[in-house]
Amino acid sequence: MTAGEMVAASVPMVRTLNLEFLESTAERAVVRMPDQADYHNHVGGPHAGAMFTLAETASGAIVMAAFGDQLTRAVPLAVNAQIAYRKLAMGEVTATATLGRPVADVVAELDAGERPEFPVAVRIERADGAVTGEMTVVWTLRPIA
């Protein structure tokens, strides 16, 4: 099972929004949200909450890909998120997430008994390539007691 499939199986909202995992590796996660009238805002594009969910889902997919092998000893949790809406999003949108710290550094902190935190940067784009939003999600791996 891929990291994207794991996220889709465990997070009902992913299925509600019909999110599609195009890539889910430790280097990059790419998730697409189709154009769906049920999730439009007042100007006919994807609702800000749907775009937030899209970007947060991409960040979760890269976290699962990078740290899925640590799930027996730690739980990944989002600590905080900040999003900036840059341009009007219309139609299908895609979120691309990248990890902000080397996996080995995060795992080393976990090995040392710490609760590591690490950022995930996410770019949201329209089909024409225009960046409509940018998000940073800070994640932690909370050790299982």
pLDDT digits (tens, 9 = 90+) for 86-112: 999 999 999 999 999 999 999 999 999
CATH number assigned to the domain comprising residue 60: 3.10.129.10
Tell whether the model's pLDDT for residue 6 goes beyond 90.
no
Predicted local distance difference test score (pLDDT) of residue 139:
98
For 64, the domain range is 3-143
Give the mean pLDDT of 1-15: 90
| Separation CA 60–CA 126 (nearest Å) | 21
- Asked if 15 and 34 touch (Cβ cutoff 8 Å), the reply is no
| Separation CA 93–CA 127 (nearest Å) | 6
pLDDT digits (tens, 9 = 90+) for 46-58: 999 999 999 999 9
Q: Quick one: pLDDT band at residue 136, thresholds 50, 70, 90?
A: very high
3-state secondary structure of 111: helix
DSSP 144: P
Using alpha carbons only, what angle is made at residue 73 by residues 70 and 75, rounded to the nearest 5 degrees?
A: 75
How many domains, in total, are found in the chain? 1
pLDDT digits (tens, 9 = 90+) for 26-35: 999 999 999 9
